[in-house]
Chain A
């Protein structure tokens, strides 16, 4: 998939889906390619412009309610990302972006909007019976034990969302992992996120790839195959050790 210009990373609608620092995921991916001597191009797709189908990696971040609805409307106008995914493209969608790539999600007023349907999940404020009070907003540090198939170390991040997200019955894909600390999907199976083909949805901010470089390299290997080894940056190792100590999480 990688053309002469190198790996193309699309940062989707950063002005709508960039409220929680998730644009950092593009910085991390690009640097981890550059540091390996591999060419890379980050393509910012401003809201209102059509999304090209020719990118290797699509990044969607968190956003507030109205921008999220606007982003979903914009992305539904052409199905470039869905087409690219069938061609093997990688998608990392965080928080509001995760909700948008599912089949449906609620806006601030409770109205249900259509998502892109890239993955078989749906989001609501609650899946409990209507007599139950709505669950509180999920805000705080989150730690996820990734699905063993992914061969990743423990995932660290920060979550800040009101929605609860569940897989559709008989849906494709598997959860990204089990929640060790925090809320994540907020469903009884205590999972966070979804992985289906090369699409990952998750509630982890941080940005998630800054705190979890192994996940960044997994996405890059989906584009490139096996990657040249990259040591460091040593700062990330220090950060992960510090956070795991602070959160009382063992590796």
Chain B
């Protein structure tokens, strides 16, 4: 989770209670917060030592209980940006952290723990003046941003995800809009192609409007401002109440081209697809607020080949087949992935589909995904809800086979590389099996 070299990954280091208890914390922190930081350090290193994951959550939770003001205190005196949205926040946070890293040390919750405890864990180690690039859960954004007063907040998109957990997309937009009124010094870096995001960001004092393109529009057909139907054409959207797509100052205009403050620049990063160039544009527009030139930002983003295992190619099973790991956890995400699957020659596709709590228990959203587009490929299905996916594909007239796990599926293909599209817990599980000890950079 640490971007700052020299502090690095503490995994495997010997652990001493006295070290944790005597580490001096800055005197500007309250006694309560210093105690909370000591508790956090103790808990997270103990948790790591015992092999219970990264320890961020448990340590952060305890520290927040000891000192409710701790987030405000550890964020004071540093520049911070928050990244939120349904899709792309982990990737965009990583890209932003790399861009901001051209200026100096950066703290980031790159492990994907994106509620208050995860954010706190990212900010709880020195240097306490390091810039922060923070991924924040959509619902948690107001609470976290009120505490840390970020310089910029990236508002990526709002679409259906885990409907049985938080069922109103407009409610999230409304929370974000109210947040803007409380942060007069912050700038919203906002996606003009998502009407919910535009309405939310319009409540802020400052905006940088970015067009990332959006393939998925089904969640924003109703005006968030007046609840009438939105009008759309290929270049924009508008409502009779006056809410309309703002003119973007930054826009993805081609597979490797960005409109950047009035000029066209060539831009490419190693992460594939238009969706990731959009994420890069959002991150670069934010980094510019912190003083990073776009050329430097893009150069720093290039070289990031995978994010938490996404897009990386891993050995799958014992037969030498490699799988490129792709995450698609909702209809909008799947539609983006369809574009990435358009390789030549077409690779076999393994779909690994679960419906655990973190995925959303209701698997019916797969009927909103145009799986008909997979016709003609070799398709293999696995996961906890493989039978539901199999019925979906049957009705899409996509021949497929069903397997107990991705490795078994891979053993049946003759190609050397396959694409593996998994949703949240399926992705986590497969990564845990094929690349359990991978460290992030």
Contacts and interface: CB of A to CB of B under 8 A. Distances in A.
Same complex: yes
B367 A210 contact: yes
B366 interface: yes
Contact of B391 (A19, A65, A160, A233): A233
Interface range for A: 35 or more
A69 B227 contact: yes
Contacts of B366: 21
A233 B160 contact: no
Contact of A16 (B221, B368, B395, B402): B221
Given A205-B364, A235-B387, A160 B167 contact: yes
Contacts of B229: 47-48, 70
A161 to B, nearest CB: 10
B367 A23 contact: yes
Given A21-B366, A235-B394, A243 B387 contact: yes
B221 A67 contact: yes
Contacts of B388: 239
A64 B219 CA distance: 10
A28 B367 CA distance: 10
Nearest to A158: B362
B79 to A, nearest CB: 37
Main secondary structure of the interface of A (DSSP, over half): mixed
Interface string A7-20: 00000001110111
Contacts of B227: 66, 69-70
Contacts of A19: 160, 163, 219
A24 B367 CA distance: 5
Contact of A236 (B170, B364, B367, B394): B394
B400 to A, nearest CB: 9
Contact of B395 (A47, A66, A210): A210
A242 interface: yes
A3 interface: no
Contacts of A205: 362, 364
A211 B169 CA distance: 27
Contact of A207 (B160, B218, B367, B397): B367
B391 A64 contact: no
A210 B73 CA distance: 53
B390 A70 contact: no
Interface in A196-251: 205-207, 210-211, 232-233, 235-236, 238-239, 242-243
B364 A64 contact: no
Interface centre among B170, B219, B393, B394, by most A CB within 10 Å?
B394
B222 interface: yes
Contacts of A22: 364, 367
Nearest to B368: A21
B390 A238 contact: yes
B394 A64 contact: no
B274 interface: no
Nearest to A242: B387
A15 B222 CA distance: 8
Contacts of A24: 364, 367-368, 392, 395
A31 interface: yes
A238 B362 contact: no
Contacts of B222: 15-16, 66-67, 70
Nearest to A233: B394
A211 to B, nearest CB: 8
Interface in A66-90: 66-67, 69-70
A27 B393 CA distance: 11
A140 interface: yes
A117 B413 CA distance: 55
Contacts of A66: 170, 222, 227
Interface string A126-159: 0000000000010111000000000000000010
Contact of A20 (B170, B362, B393): B362
B247 interface: no
A160 B396 CA distance: 25
Contacts of B392: 24, 210
A193 B254 CA distance: 50
Contact of A28 (B170, B395, B402): B395
A67 to B, nearest CB: 5
Contacts of B363: 158
Contacts of B163: 19-20, 160
A47 B221 contact: yes
A235 B391 contact: yes
A18 B164 contact: no
Nearest to B227: A66
A158 B385 CA distance: 14
Contacts of B270: none
Contacts of B390: 235, 238-239
B169 A27 contact: no
A66 B171 CA distance: 11
Interface centre among A21, A24, A210 (most CB of B within 10 A): A21
A64 B218 contact: no
Nearest to B367: A24
Interface in B348-395: 361-368, 387-388, 390-395
A160 B167 CA distance: 9
Contacts of A235: 387, 390-391, 393-394
A11 to B, nearest CB: 12
A24 B369 CA distance: 10
**What are the nearest 3 A-B pairs in CB distance?**
A24-B367, A21-B364, A15-B221
9 contacts: A19-B160, A20-B163, A24-B395, A31-B397, A64-B167, A108-B168, A210-B391, A238-B390, A239-B387
Given A28-B395, A67-B222, A139-B164, 8 more contacts: A18-B218, A19-B160, A21-B365, A23-B367, A24-B392, A24-B395, A65-B168, A70-B222
